[in-house]
Chains A and B, each alone.
Chain A
Amino acid sequence: MPSMTGIISTNYSPDNCGILAEDRGIAALPFFGRYRLVDFPLSNMVNSGITDLGIIAPTNFRALLDHVGIGKEWALSRKSGGLHILPGSPFGQKNLNGRFLINDILKNKEVIDKLINEYIAISATSKIFNLDYNEVLEYHLNNNADITLIYKENLSRLGPKDYSILTESDKVVSISNSSEDRNNCFLDSLIINKSILRYIVYNCKQDEHLDLLEYLSKNVTDLNIFAYKYVGYVGSFNSVRDYLKTNQQLLDCNIKSEVFNKHRPIITKTQDNPPAKYTSSSNINDSVISTGCIIKGTVDNSIIFRGVIIEENTIVKNSIIFQNSTIGKNSYLDNVVMDKQTNIDDYMSITGDYRDPIVLDKNNKYRKDRIYNVKPNKKRS
């Protein structure tokens, strides 16, 4: 099997995740206790033997860079190849038509020009799945394709940047982000031949704002595009509600063991926290709890990130608590997504609706003698 080069696009707006992704960018959005979204495409590529990999970074790349560093955890700190952080253009965040700004690739054309590998795997970072790109490449080669788009049947909750495809005997005949028939959802992942990518990039030189998928949808008949059906689990969300739901879906042991496949592990930055500690007053029901936590209260159907402290007689239900947050005694949280380093006082009750969870901003203190009007999905002005 020939080798591939990887490109991960993270330079696009996170749409409806509100303040959760506003500062940190979509790639660094925390997920399932210890991960960030970029871990999934990054690990998929590394587990497929890709050792030469570029991440197109958004202009607010601090959190992303803090997480991936020089790629040590993914064994991408290489003398030859390894991880490249590629600067993306400021327009990326305003691109309404997709997640792959062609201009971002053109801007980093030195990297494309130097590529030795003939095949390029490209992925965005919004969807959760565990994929072996080698299987896609084999399919790509057997079909003699220019491009192979990876899709999932019957994926619900699509957003405006999600494309669906129509196929005729595996060949893609239509790509659209607006059509009625949205059965086959493109998973923001594809394999493309280097020569085709180069042709597209140079051909679109004049248009700074064109998205790769937009281009493909207009030129679908001129190109030899195939579709690869992914049959495993896909987690996808376009709202805080669905973000919470997707996290909870992974509490299902079958889904969990499929996504966190032992042979293709999802790799992330390690932090040297001690194991989680439970005291005699703790009660846990169907929850995932990370290292460094101290749990004295009750946790139910929730995801607790690293270093969280939950005090006595406190109940945390149907919620996600990001790292290093603390929740005081005798408090009650239901349907809350709480960003990192946030403190909740004793005797506080914060209850969201499962259709509309409450989002608490990071680095905040919520004190019981004040009134909070916390609205989900509201951007900071």
Chain B
Amino acid sequence: MNNKKILAMLLAGGQGSRLGYLTKDVAKPAVSFGGKYRMIDFSLSNCANSGIDTVGVLTQYRPHLLYSYLGNGAAWDLDYSNGGLHILPPYYTEEGGNWYNGTADAIYSNLDFLDRFNPKLVIILSGDHLYKMDYRKFISFHERKNADVTISTITVPIEEACRFGILTTDSNYKLINFEEKPNDPKSNIASMGIYLFDYSVLKEALQKDHENINSNKDFGKNVIPSLLNSGHNLYAYVFQDYWQDCGTIESYYNSQMGLLKDVPDFDIFDKRFKIYSNTNISPPHHISKKGNAKQSLISNGAYIGGEVYNSVISNDAYIGDNATIKNSLVLPRAKVLDNSYINYSIVCEKAIVAKNSYIEGSIENIKLISS
């Protein structure tokens, strides 16, 4: 028996249907972000920067790009012989097989995997959040409070609270009430969907939830409320840094535009907390005689023949001569050919914009350009 102190389970199976064409071919955690990253990099980098050496990645929807991107986890320093990165797709047993039916069911189906490492604590993460968090602080809070479960939270504007799981706590951060997406929110303390469990509590709760045929097999809707009702010690950890769920086109676009500010919302240049990624091996990007770039992020392998302003140009993207890119995201390997004009748009991976195109979105209506 392995007896790990902490093991991370990363939920990466979601389709991300609200991201439209961006997730047509790839799972949400594999969607390109910030020029050279993919969504899952942020949670995996947090693990690497927090000394977590064993991570199970639960996959389901369109996993192939995600699998090849993850590889053996070496890109995030997660290639360990005793632990490391494990990809956990749905599987078949003597009783039959099913797709993962909810977040709780996905973890329940992999209790065998967890038993092999027999961790003291299990942290449940999502593959589509933009944040930098040292989980060690979260863990020491959990231990200090002697909690069974700790939920990581942020404060949100009260008018947005109805989109989140909303917590009420006592002055000691002990959870009193939890409501998933309430119509009439009682507070503005929102769950980030990041949970830290004592493994024994998690295992028992998942087994009970599995037997409950009325359950939606969801952490927020079922597991957390039932643990609260059964008198367990649940605590709220207040995370005070930047956190963003990038599940909609709007938040996906805005959070990347936030990287371009002189003082960015989310600092990818912080050397003390590096964001790791499975980087490509293209040459550095080239801005040609006719090209120029302002207020932008540009990645390796890109060629800039035109003007780029307030935009993110990803790996191996091509901007043709005299093209203009403004307020836009150009994703990996996309091509915008000569003399085109693009404003307030997202050019999807490998999409090609023909010569002399004129595409104008607006801040309220970001255009999604597929090939």
Q: Does A286 contact B (CB under 8 A)?
A: yes
Is there an interface contact between A276 and B295, defined as CB atoms closer than 8 Å?
no
Q: How far is the CB of A227 from chain B (nearest CB, A)?
A: 31
- Residues from chain A with Cβ under 8 Å of B36 in the complex: 274-275, 291
Within 8 A of A (CB), among B260-278: 260, 262, 268-269, 274-277
- Which bucket holds chain B's interface residue count? 35 or more
Within 8 A of A (CB), among B272-308: 274-277, 279, 281-289, 291-300, 303-304, 308
In the complex, per-residue mask of B124-143: 1 if CB is within 8 Å of any chain A CB, else 0: 00000000000000000000
Q: Which residue of A lies closest to B286 (CB)?
A: A288
Is there an interface contact between A278 and B288, defined as CB atoms closer than 8 Å?
no
Is there an interface contact between A284 and B291, defined as CB atoms closer than 8 Å?
yes
Q: Does A272 contact B (CB under 8 A)?
A: yes
Q: How far is the CB of B172 from chain A (nearest CB, A)?
A: 39
Known: A282-B293, A291-B300. A260 touches B268 (CB 8 A): no
Q: Does A287 contact B (CB under 8 A)?
A: yes
Q: Which residue of A lies closest to B269 (CB)?
A: A274
Q: Does B165 contact A (CB under 8 A)?
A: no
Whole-angstrom CA separation of A271 from B300 in the bound complex:
12
Q: Does B74 contact A (CB under 8 A)?
A: yes
Binding site for B on A (CB under 8 A): 32-35, 72-73, 251, 253, 256, 260, 265-268, 270-272, 274-292, 294, 304
* 5 A-B pairs (CB sep. < 8 Å): A33-B283, A272-B275, A278-B297, A286-B288, A289-B298
Is there an interface contact between B281 and A267, defined as CB atoms closer than 8 Å?
yes
- With A72-B74, A266-B281 known, 18 other A-B pairs at CB within 8 A are A253-B288, A256-B283, A260-B282, A265-B282, A268-B281, A274-B269, A274-B275, A274-B297, A275-B34, A276-B285, A276-B297, A278-B293, A279-B294, A280-B295, A281-B294, A284-B287, A284-B304, A291-B299
Whole-angstrom CA separation of A285 from B262 in the bound complex:
22
Whole-angstrom CA separation of A282 from B287 in the bound complex:
12
Q: How far is the CB of B267 from chain A (nearest CB, A)?
A: 9
Q: How far is the CB of B139 from chain A (nearest CB, A)?
A: 25
Q: How far is the CB of A318 from chain B (nearest CB, A)?
A: 14
Is there an interface contact between B269 and A260, defined as CB atoms closer than 8 Å?
no
Is there an interface contact between A270 and B293, defined as CB atoms closer than 8 Å?
no
Q: Does B35 contact A (CB under 8 A)?
A: yes
Whole-angstrom CA separation of A294 from B259 in the bound complex:
13
- Residues from chain B with Cβ under 8 Å of A72 in the complex: 74
Whole-angstrom CA separation of A304 from B287 in the bound complex:
12
Q: Which residue of A lies closest to B264 (CB)?
A: A277
Q: How far is the CB of B343 from chain A (nearest CB, A)?
A: 17
- Residues from chain B with Cβ under 8 Å of A280 in the complex: 294-295
Is there an interface contact between B74 and A277, defined as CB atoms closer than 8 Å?
no
Known: A284-B291, A284-B292. A270 touches B279 (CB 8 A): yes
- Residues from chain B with Cβ under 8 Å of A290 in the complex: 284, 300
Which of A266, A283, A289 is B292 in contact with, Cβ under 8 Å? A283
Whole-angstrom CA separation of A304 from B288 in the bound complex:
14
Is there an interface contact between A266 and B283, defined as CB atoms closer than 8 Å?
yes
Within 8 A of A (CB), among B168-227: none
Q: How far is the CB of B186 from chain A (nearest CB, A)?
A: 40
Q: How far is the CB of B318 from chain A (nearest CB, A)?
A: 11
Known: A272-B276, A278-B298. A256 touches B269 (CB 8 A): no
- Residues from chain B with Cβ under 8 Å of A275 in the complex: 34-36, 268, 297-300, 312-314
Is there an interface contact between B269 and A292, defined as CB atoms closer than 8 Å?
yes
Which has the most chain A C-beta neighbours within 10 Å: B34, B284, B292? B284
- Residues from chain B with Cβ under 8 Å of A286 in the complex: 287-289
Whole-angstrom CA separation of A268 from B180 in the bound complex:
48
Whole-angstrom CA separation of A74 from B28 in the bound complex:
30
- Residues from chain A with Cβ under 8 Å of B291 in the complex: 284-285
- Residues from chain B with Cβ under 8 Å of A35 in the complex: 283
Is there an interface contact between B268 and A274, defined as CB atoms closer than 8 Å?
yes
Whole-angstrom CA separation of A291 from B269 in the bound complex:
10
Within 8 A of A (CB), among B34-52: 34-36
Known: A285-B292, A291-B36, A292-B269. A276 touches B283 (CB 8 A): no
Q: Which residue of B lies closest to A35 (CB)?
A: B283
Q: How far is the CB of A32 from chain B (nearest CB, A)?
A: 7
Q: Which residue of A lies closest to B288 (CB)?
A: A286
Is there an interface contact between A278 and B269, defined as CB atoms closer than 8 Å?
no
Whole-angstrom CA separation of A268 from B282 in the bound complex:
9
Q: How far is the CB of B341 from chain A (nearest CB, A)?
A: 19
Q: How far is the CB of B346 from chain A (nearest CB, A)?
A: 16
Q: How far is the CB of A182 from chain B (nearest CB, A)?
A: 31
Q: Which residue of B lies closest to A271 (CB)?
A: B279
Is there an interface contact between A288 and B275, defined as CB atoms closer than 8 Å?
no
Q: Which residue of B lies closest to A306 (CB)?
A: B284
Whole-angstrom CA separation of A44 from B129 in the bound complex:
40
Which of A284, A287, A294 is B269 in contact with, Cβ under 8 Å? A294
Whole-angstrom CA separation of A201 from B185 in the bound complex:
82
Whole-angstrom CA separation of A159 from B175 in the bound complex:
76
Q: Which residue of A lies closest to B296 (CB)?
A: A278
Q: Which residue of A lies closest to B293 (CB)?
A: A278
User: 3 shortest A-B CB distances, which residue pairs?
Assistant: A33-B284, A275-B35, A274-B268
- Residues from chain A with Cβ under 8 Å of B297 in the complex: 274-278
- Residues from chain A with Cβ under 8 Å of B313 in the complex: 275
Which of A272, A278, A288 is B283 in contact with, Cβ under 8 Å? A288
Is there an interface contact between B284 and A34, defined as CB atoms closer than 8 Å?
yes
- Residues from chain B with Cβ under 8 Å of A276 in the complex: 285, 297-299
Which of B281, B289, B296, B303 is A270 in contact with, Cβ under 8 Å? B281
- Residues from chain B with Cβ under 8 Å of A285 in the complex: 287, 289, 291-292
Whole-angstrom CA separation of A290 from B315 in the bound complex:
12
- Residues from chain A with Cβ under 8 Å of B312 in the complex: 275
Whole-angstrom CA separation of A275 from B277 in the bound complex:
12
